[in-house]
Amino acid sequence: GAGVSQSPRYKVAKRGQDVALRCDPISGHVSLFWYQQALGQGPEFLTYFQNEAQLDKSGLPSDRFFAERPEGSVSTLKIQRTQQEDSAVYLCASSLAPGGTLNEQFFGPGTRLTVL
């Protein structure tokens, strides 16, 4: 596709349910990022992949959050036992080259997660 795509666009979960959010980066992009954007706030870094390797997961808020990119393309962010504070928009971004400030990050439209 022409850009980063994410699915589903909207997800409603009951507290305690597990959810899986998918990101399809731009074809050929080496780097992939996940961000969490709370209402009225800027995106906050969650984790970074270079190809299939998860090089940084320092932003994941708890061990309920897990991300993978097994073949170096599509990535999945999984949240176990969702809590109300997990409600946010989850953004995925990709960039062409390995991580570094020289590379523009292209963002997807996000998945809005609402936990009831």
Partner 1 sequence: GENVEQHPSTLSVQEGDSAVIKCTYSDSASNYFPWYKQELGKGPQLIIDIRSNVGEKKDQRIAVTLNKTAKHFSLHITETQPEDSAVYFCAASKKGTYKYIFGTGTRLKVLA
Smaller CB separation from partner 1, 66 or 106: 106
Is there a cis peptide before residue 98, judged by omega within 30 degrees of 0? no
Q: Is residue 25 part of the contact set for partner 1 (CB under 8 A)?
A: no
Residues ≥6 apart with Cβ < 8 Å to 68: 54, 75, 76, 78
Helix (H, G, I), strand (E, B) or coil at 86: helix
Nearest CA among 21, 30, 104, 108 for reference residue 71: 30
CB of 110 to partner 1, least distance (A): 5
Smaller CB separation from partner 1, 80 or 99: 99
- Segment interacting with partner 1 (CB under 8 A) among 14-22, 33-41, 60-68, 73-81: 33-41
Q: Is residue 107 part of the contact set for partner 1 (CB under 8 A)?
A: yes
CB of 18 to partner 1, least distance (A): 24
Q: Which residues of 28-61 are buried (b: 16+ CB within 10 A; e: fewer)?
A: ebbbbbbbbbeeeeebeebbbbbeeebeeeeebe
- Segment interacting with partner 1 (CB under 8 A) among 13-21, 68-76, 78-86, 90-98: 90-98
Give the binding site for partner 1 (CB under 8 A).
Answer: 4, 31, 33, 40-45, 48, 56, 59, 91, 93, 95, 99-110
